[in-house]
Amino acid sequence: MTIDTKKATTIDEQIALLKSRGMVIDDVKKAKENLFDIGYFRLGFYWFPFEATYPRKNNRTHQFTSGANFAWAIKLYYFDFDLRNILLRYISRIEVNFRTSVVYLTSNEYKDNPCWYVDPTIIKKEILESRNTTML
């Protein structure tokens, strides 16, 4: 088995590589801050749509379409970040409500069994066993 390894590059080298592939970088200082803060490989997911070979995932050239701008990838990254945080807020509320409802209803169904959540006559044995191995 061979491992495809890549050598570390400086932020200046990363910027030079992006420019050589056709990425427009209007504010190099800001781009350096973004690369240091977010990271080259994480941002790669956000400039992927600006690659000439998009949406192809194999045999990519990593060349950018004419006029592709680094700032667009940053805007896409922050849009995704903000959207994820908005959704997470509501998904978390739904999750807490769902778990609370399950515990409330099941606990009231098995009032005489305060440990119903580990009782194999109530919860499938496979689920209990899988929970025990993941908690080790």
Nearest CA to 107 among 126, 131, 123?
123
- Report if residue 46 sits inside a domain: yes
Confirm whether 43 is domain-assigned.
yes
Residue 98 scores a pLDDT above 70: yes
Question: Is the pLDDT at 2 greater than 90, yes or no?
Answer: no
SS3 9: coil
Establish if 5 belongs to a structural domain.
no
What pTM was computed for the model? 0.68
Q: What is the pLDDT of residue 86?
A: 95
- Cβ burial of 10 (10 Å; 0-12, 13-18, 19+) is exposed
Answer yes or no: are the C-beta atoms of 11 and 35 closer than 8 Å. yes
- With a cut of 70, say whether residue 87 has pLDDT above it: yes
Task: State the average pLDDT over residues 90-119.
Answer: 90
Is 101 among the domain residues? yes
Q: How many domains does the chain have?
A: 1
Examine residue 2 and state whether it is found in any structural domain, yes or no: no
Q: Which domain holds residue 19?
A: 11-134
For residue 128, is it within any domain?
yes
Asked if residue 6 is part of any domain, the answer here is no
